[in-house]
Amino acid sequence: MATLKQLLLKHTEFAAVIRNEKPYRRLDFSANNHELLRRDFSETDIFSKYIFEEMLSGNTFTGIGGYGEDRVIYRHRKHFTSEEENPRSIHLGTDIWAGAGEAIYAPLNGIVYSFAFNDHYGDYGPTIILSHELEDIKFFTLYGHLSLSSLDGLFEGKSIAAGEKFAEIGPYPENGDWPPHLHLQIISDIGSYLGDFPGVSSIKDREHYVSICPDPNLILRIGENGVI
């Protein structure tokens, strides 16, 4: 049987998740970005202005990136550093940085598997998990940092069609108190999680989580040549 990665590579019919006309710019939140080490971004308003005014040149770009990135930005959030001996810093999804209210569309047919308001500082905020099936392989996509209104009218088992708008990027602080963006993650084995799943792992656990959370660009298909 094909692996999930092989299956996603084989298919090409995925709908665009974000549909604005802005070009993409890859953003770096690792130690290679020295600004993150020199400046204090613990205040969300300051961090948001840095992303949208500086990194995205006055919001003229849509930010993209982060899969597998070892991020230093989590040092400001106790949500990721509570285990001092094994802090979490490896990002397991792709982030798409766009303004609050930006529409989110389903990349393929699915059903609502679960949803929740993960209401902790630094957490996902409103979160929706869809389940999908391709060629008898079941997997999940997680959408975090949504607007609270994205959860209105949802129920487990609700059908979501490919290309259907089903959510919006949320504002802070309701989105987990982050600058507005979408966290998209693919999950092959969700275990017993409902409305939540680790989006950041420790370096120690990286191999395990990357093995069950393949690169979301297998669905997004945002080409390197189209990213500045």
pLDDT digits (tens, 9 = 90+) for 85-111: 667 899 999 999 999 999 999 999 999
Q: Tell me which residue of 76, 75, 25, 89 sits closest to 54, measured CA to CA.
A: 25
Query: What tokens were used for 173?
Result: 């602080």
3-state secondary structure of 199: coil
Domain ranges across the chain: 4-222
Residue 143, Cβ neighbours under 10 Å: how many?
24
pTM here is: 0.93
User: Using CA atoms, how far apart are residues 80 and 88, in angstroms rounded to an integer?
Assistant: 5
User: Using CA atoms, how far apart are residues 127 and 116, in angstroms rounded to an integer?
Assistant: 5
pLDDT at 93: 97
Query: What tokens were used for 33?
Result: 């970005």
What's the rounded mean pLDDT across residues 44-50? 96
HSE, CB side, 13 Å, CA atoms: give it for residue 200: 26
Is the per-residue pLDDT at 76 higher than 80? Answer: no
CATH 2.70.70.10 given to domain 4-222: yes
**SS3 assignment for 87-144:** CEEEECCEEEECCCCCEEECCCCEEEEEEEEECCCCCCEEEEEEEEEECCEEEEEEEE
Is the per-residue pLDDT at 81 higher than 50? Answer: no
Confidence of residue 84 (pLDDT cuts 50, 70, 90): low
User: Using CA atoms, how far apart are residues 204 and 87, in angstroms rounded to an integer?
Assistant: 9
What's the rounded mean pLDDT across residues 66-90? 72
User: Using CA atoms, how far apart are residues 218 and 199, in angstroms rounded to an integer?
Assistant: 17
